[in-house]
Structures are given as structure tokens and as C-alpha cells.
Amino acid sequence: MRGVGRFGLLPIVGVEPAGGRRDAEPAFERVPAPTGAPVGSPPVPEPAPATTRTLSEAASKELLAPFGVPFPPERTVHTADEAVEAGEALGFPVVAKLCGEGIAHKTERGLVRLGLHDATAVRHATADLLAAATEADGPVSVLVAPMLSGRRELIAGLATDAQFGPTVMLGVGGVLAEALADVALRLVPLARIDAEEMIEDLRTQTLLGELRGEPPVDRVAVADVVLALSAATEAHAELVSVDLNPLLVVAGRPVAVDALVEVVTAGGSGDGDGDQSR
């Protein structure tokens, strides 16, 4: 009866074989197999849930830019005078946005100023933005960037699935993004063929062709964005999520005018011009 104990079966001690025959099979009773920790052992503590934090827009872009995510040139400033200098260097019109780790939804709070055409407008906008910061926002700055224009928007990002791990997303953005729900997903790591197939998976292919005098969307450049997100995830194990919304299509090429990155903390285990206001 080799291996009986391994399956939770033990002989009944002191029971005579049936009919008094010594060559009969012994009777057995089923004993539950031991489960859990041994009796008397200390309880195993549950792992602490991982905690995360959201980086500021400036810090998010700084993390992603080395991997090839295309961002417009911009300046981080702390005073109205510095903002004017930035606007003059970048060329008017510009956009000004309040920036800080505690600021995730700038548009909803009115913390974005678009179409600033001169130094006076930049000065006033920067002063208003800095005055609107609250104590809960923590340290803040103002991002000054060129005012870009485009009729088409895409979205791209990263999410971490509890079962499958990091997943990269590409989709149609803009005001119709939720209504269309036109997105493609792939698991990390991605090869270029995966990125190309994601573009082909989008149902709204006409949006990627020539549109109202604008050139077709540069599919190679879009694939580069998707591959950049995959590479960033492989290089930074602390990445939990990335949101590039919108990816504004400017002269056929995608430009990420906003970025939001979430990381595990060290202690934790379309018509009209595109929108730069998120």
C-alpha cells in the first residue's frame, strides 16, 4: 500500500480483518490531509497592499520622453516673469497649465489657459494659475508650451491587469472617444508587428487617412509611441499606469500634449482643433 499516507488514508489500528482472515485487505478510514500552517506555528502576516502615487505632468513626461514618446517643447516656470520669458522663447500663442503631483484633473478645476497670444496674457494667466493652487496641491509650477492645432486625436496608455500584467492600449480620442470605444490592447512586451496590428485593429480607419487637407496619420510614428510605452514599462517595474490623452495629430504625426503616470511608491510592494487642456 505504498503512498497511502500521501492521499490521507490510514489503517484502523486494532481492527481484526473480516472473517478472521489474516490475508484480507485491511480496513481503512479517510483522514483529512493536513492543511495550512503546522499547529503551534506563528501566523503568516498578509502582505501589505501596494500604495501608488501619481506623478506631476512634468515628471510624467520626464520619465517617458527618453523612450521616444513625442512631447512638445515646454518650460516649467514658477513666476509670471519666467512664464513670459518661456512664451517669448517658444513663440506665441502658448498654453499655460498648473502642474503638481496633487493635480490630476486640470480641466475640471479650470487650471488650463489656452491661446495666450502675448506677454500680457501669459503674465495674467500665470498669476491666476498660481493663485488657484491649494494647500492640498502641494508644491506647484506652471507648464508653458506651444499652442498646437489638429483635427484628430488618439489616446494611448498603459494599465496593469491583476492576472495578465502590463497592457498597452491605443485608441481613437477626442470628444467621441467614449461613444466610439474604438481601442486595441496588447500585452507587454510588444514587437513592432504588435504595434502595427494595434493600429490596423482600430475600426475607424478613415480617421487615419487624409482628412480635410491634412496628411494621413504617420502609422510608423504611432507605432513608435506604443513601443515606447512598452519599453518604459519593461525598464520601470514601478509603473502602474500611463495616460497619454490626447495624442494630438499635428501635420500627420502624433504629439502627446498631456501625460499622467502612476507608480508604486518606494514603500509599496473629430471636428475642431484638438484639445490641449487635459
- Taking alpha carbons only, the member of 262, 258, 259, 261 closest to residue 274 is 258
pLDDT (0 to 100) of residue 218: 98
Angle CA 219–224–225, to nearest 5: 100
Compute the Cα dihedral for 249, 142, 130, 115 and give only its sign: negative
pLDDT (0 to 100) of residue 84: 98
pLDDT (0 to 100) of residue 263: 96
Please say whether the beta carbons of 265 and 239 come within 8 A.
no
pLDDT (0 to 100) of residue 271: 42
pLDDT (0 to 100) of residue 182: 93
Q: 163-216: per-residue pLDDT in tens?
A: 999 999 999 988 767 778 899 999 999 999 999 999 999 999 999 999 888 999
**Radius of gyration (Cα) for the chain, nearest Å?**
29
What the chain holds in terms of domains, given with CATH numbers, is: 73-146 (3.30.1490.20), 149-264 (3.30.470.20)
What residues of the chain score a pLDDT lower than 50? 1-28, 269-275, 277
pLDDT (0 to 100) of residue 83: 98
pLDDT (0 to 100) of residue 104: 75
C-beta neighbour count of 245 within 10 angstroms: 22
Those residues whose C-beta lies under 8 Å from the C-beta of residue 98, and which sit 6 or more positions away, are 106, 111, 112, 129, 130, 132, 133, 137, 140, 141, 142, 143
pLDDT (0 to 100) of residue 20: 47
pLDDT (0 to 100) of residue 49: 62
